Amino acid sequence: MSSLLDGLSAEQRRLLSDAPPGAELAAAPMLAQLSDRREFGTDWIFERKLDGVRALAVRQPGAEPVRLFSRSGQNINSTYPELVDVLGAQSCADFTVDGEIVAFSHGRTDFSRLQRRMGLTDPRRALATGVAVTYCLFDLLALDGYQTTKLPLRVRKSLLLRALDFREPLRLTTHRNQGGQDLLDQACSRGWEGLIAKRAQGRYRPRRSPDWLKLKCARGQEFVIGGFTEPSGSRTGFGALLLGYYEHDQLRYAGKVGTGYTEAMLRTVRARLDDLATTAAPFADPVRERHAHWARPELVAQLAFTEWTRDGMLRHPRFLGLREDKDPREVVREEPAKEQRISR
């Protein structure tokens, strides 16, 4: 057992187990639930909510030096070669970590800027974009051949801090030990996406869990693209994207979004939708758009919006970018979790 793990208490060491192959451990990341809860006890910690792409990194002796996986399990080494390099240069040779890849702009995470790197599979082209990325780590799933997911979160974070050398483009995600509405207000005033509240003694569970809660400054989520309208005037590509989410295996219509695009994105998305063209509407609900073009529901868009209308449509939606790391079938309407009993 490594010197770091030797420092655990006897009770904590009993929670360790032999780590499975890294790709298996990284295949099912823990996910947060959207919540409108704003009061918390002392058994919660609070991290900055980052607007990027989720990634788990694996380094094991005898295997490929480092493997970087998206949330959906795709190998993204070629997209972020500088992250592979910094992780491969660590003195610790056996670890699995969880974090978020982001691009910063004026101190804020900028998903639109990150879009220029996402999906590229040629390392030279990825670096030539000039978009610097940062890998913000917040959890440790395995260390030196042992699975650490059953250890309390505070212990995992302490091990993560000591196991790796944090230098750019690698950062440790810091946290606060107290939080609630005041801390969220501060985060929103700084232009952050919000906060993630986590149970300090919680285990790492490979599913969406109420032990991790998303506290958002504004509404926003992913939607499946099921079609588009024709552009008008001097606009190129398309007029608006037709959007939906899954409910009981049916794609429910949620409205359209016509703002937030660059000229390049209008052309790129139109080309991809043309490749997915179909004659049948993929939505379970009627869509009252004249001359709509339909597409197989395989692309996922990230949107910001103000609220849901009474008839289940998006109000004031704005396109932020495509999500290459999300399975369309996992896209559902996100609703805040019900208020839970406050821990004292």
What pLDDT was estimated at residue 340?
A: 45
pLDDT digits (tens, 9 = 90+) for 178-205: 999 999 999 988 888 899 999 999 999 9
> How many domains are contained in the chain?
2
The letter for the amino acid at 92 is C
Q: Is the pTM of this model over 0.75?
A: yes
Helix (H, G, I), strand (E, B) or coil at 254: strand
- The per-residue pLDDT for 61 is 85
What's residue 310's pLDDT?
Answer: 87
Q: Which domain holds residue 126?
A: 3-216
**Three-state DSSP class for 109?**
strand
pLDDT of residue 250: 97
Instruction: Supply the pLDDT for residue 342.
Output: 38
- Give mean pLDDT, residues 168-186: 94
Report if residue 340 sits inside a domain: no
Residues 224 and 211 occupy one common structural domain: no
Do 226 and 124 lie in one domain? The reply is: no
CATH number, domain of 17, equals 3.30.470.30
Could you tell me the sign of the dihedral formed by the alpha carbons of 148, 153, 157, 159, in that order?
Answer: negative
Question: Given a cut of 80, is residue 337 above it in pLDDT?
Answer: no
Residue finishing a domain among 216, 231, 252: 216
Q: Is the pLDDT of residue 266 over 70?
A: yes
In a domain, 194, yes or no: yes
CB atoms within 10 A of CB 76: 26
- Residue 342, amino acid: I
64-101 pLDDT per residue, tens? 789 999 998 899 999 999 999 999 999 999 999 999 99
The closest alpha carbon to 77, from 120, 15, 48, belongs to 120
145 residue type, one letter: G
The catalytic site residues sit at: 49
Domain boundary among 192, 216, 240: 216
Burial 252-289 (b: 16+ CB within 10 A, else e): bbbbbbbebbeeebbebbbeebeebeeeebbbeeebeb
* 231 pLDDT above the threshold of 70: yes
* Sequence-ordered list of residues with C-beta below 8 angstroms from that of 42, at least 6 positions apart, any chain: 177, 178, 343, 344
Bridge partners (DSSP) of residue 321 are 302
pLDDT at residue number 338 = 54
Check: CB of residue 163 under 8 Å from CB of residue 95.
Answer: yes
Asked whether residue 207 falls in the same domain as residue 114, the answer is yes
* Same structural domain, 161 and 230: no
- Does residue 324 have a pLDDT over 90? no
* 235 to 256, 260, 264, 274, 317: CA distances (angstroms): 16, 13, 12, 17, 19
Residues 300 and 244 in one domain: yes
pLDDT of residue 1: 60
* Structural domain includes residue 324: yes
